[in-house]
Homo-oligomer: A and B are copies of this chain.
Amino acid sequence: MDRKKAQEQIFEQLASVGDALGNRHRLKMISLLSHGEKPVEELAAATGQSMAAASAHLKVLRAARLVASEKRGRHVYCRLASPSVAELWMRLREVGEELAPEVRDAVRTAFDPASAAPLTAPEVMSRIRRGRATLVDLRPEVEYAAGRLPKARNLPFPELNRRAKELPRKDLLVYCRGPYCVMAFEGVERLREMKFSAERLAFSVPEWRAAGLPVEVSSTSGEPS
């Protein structure tokens, strides 16, 4: 009889975790944080919210234990409480893409997976090892520093036009923040206009990490403070 009560509590608590996944802005925050810790301010800007609103959503995520945060300097840096949160987010995406036509159609029309290089993570790893490809990471430098595909070069999206000439003309594999990342698409489009041979990868660092492949990190112990 006591176990019955405990079981209900467990389901209740797990439901609160599910509930935390039930808002667009919060999912976006999880998605952003899967590329490394960020201050509240940045999360607010990236999700188009006021600081107060972002702070409220973060409170929900913290209550569900999905996000942890720490004050350093004058910023509060937020991060996923564990890599398994990113994996939960990936699994949610997979289920949505598999089962919800609304998701599947939107993904197909706006972020067509068929437009990406049809390479699995291990296949990319093998090309990296053989020096057959140049990986280009379009994310901001802090995210690149926090973790990247091996031998990837960092060329943040806003600097693309100016610095593209640093890249080789051939065999570019471009990635940014994952399958729904607008910059990855536009980056490849721009590079092609500039006569580079470039393909988009359909995944990013969190998926790479979840596949058990090695992630390269800048030697500075944490994020710059």
Interface residues of A, Cβ cutoff 8 Å to B = 2-4, 6-24, 26-28, 31, 64-66, 81-82, 84-85, 87-88, 91-96, 98-103, 106-107, 109-111, 180, 182, 185
Contact = CB atoms under 8 A, between A and B. Distances in A.
Given A84-B95, A87-B91, A88-B95, A15 B23 contact: yes
B103 A14 contact: yes
A173 B123 CA distance: 41
Contact of A106 (B9, B82, B85): B9
A22 B24 contact: no
A14 B9 CA distance: 26
A10 B92 CA distance: 12
Contacts of A18: 18-23, 27, 92
A114 to B, nearest CB: 16
Contact of A66 (B21, B87, B95, B110): B95
A84 B18 CA distance: 16
B12 A24 contact: yes
Given A17-B95, A96-B13, A99-B81, A109 B65 contact: no
A142 to B, nearest CB: 22
Given A2-B110, A19-B22, A64 B100 contact: yes
Given A13-B106, A65-B101, A84-B91, 4 more contacts: A3-B111, A13-B100, A16-B22, A19-B21
